[in-house]
Amino acid sequence: MTVYAILFYILAGLILITTGLAITRRNMVHTVIYLVFSFFGSAMLFYLLGAPLLAALEVIIYAGAIMILFLFIIIMMREESPETRLFVPRQWLPAAAIGLLYLALGVLLILSADPTTGEPMKLAQATPAAFGEYLFNAHWLTIEIASLLLLVALIGALHLGREGKGGDARKTEETS
């Protein structure tokens, strides 16, 4: 086992543990903190696999911007440690079924994989320029579709946030 393999297993364990803790905490703020640690683990994993750009973006976008937004909303709502069970069985059962399906598929994939996948991956180092060139040459359509999706979401948010004909947004603000 190489040093990289040992590092990989440590990071993978860290990600699993922190994600597990994140989904079992009752305190929402603690959930966010554990999730940030989980994203850190993923970022380090990207770095280990030779993609420093992706590692930095993971921390900036997910651990930084998106989780801060989550934290902002959770702190504002002040909904700490709800006493009641979060999910009723009606929601819980389908979720568990889908989860088990994924687990079975994953195990099947590992079992049926050809022997070469057992070999350690070759370490590659992708410079930011090379990464960007590859992304925008080979996958430009996917990026355009994703950005279109974000644009639609942005327009939707703008529409919802706008004051309606009778000043709807202001009315809800006053009544709340």
Q: Which is nearer to other proteins, 159 or 165 (CB)?
A: 159
Interface characters, 49-78, with other proteins (x: CB under 8 A): ---xx-xxx-xx--xxx--xx-xx--xx--
Secondary structure of 84-95 in HEC code, one letter for each residue = CCCCCHHHHHHH
DSSP H helices, the chain, are 3-24, 28-48, 52-57, 67-77, 89-112, 128-138, 140-161, 168-175
Candidate list 7, 14, 17, 33; residue touching other proteins; CB under 8 A: 33
Which of the 8 DSSP states describes residue 14?
Answer: H
Q: Which is nearer to other proteins, 88 or 161 (CB)?
A: 161
Candidate list 127, 142, 147, 172; residue touching other proteins; CB under 8 A: 127
22 binds other proteins (CB under 8 A): no
Q: Which is nearer to other proteins, 11 or 36 (CB)?
A: 36
Contact 27, 71 (CB under 8 A): no
- Angstrom distances, CA of residue 153 to CA of 64, 74, 112, 144, 160: 21, 22, 40, 14, 10
State the number of binding residues for other proteins (CB under 8 A).
23
Q: Which is nearer to other proteins, 11 or 59 (CB)?
A: 59
Task: Specify burial of residue 77 (Cβ count, 10 A radius: 0-12, 13-18, 19+).
Answer: exposed
Contact segment (CB under 8 A) with other proteins among 14-22, 24-32, 105-113, 137-145 equals 24-32
Q: Which is nearer to other proteins, 27 or 91 (CB)?
A: 27
List the Cα angle 129/35/24 in 5-degree steps.
155
Q: What residues line the site for other proteins (CB under 8 A)?
A: 27, 29-30, 33, 36, 52-53, 55-57, 59-60, 63-65, 68-69, 71-72, 75-76, 127-128
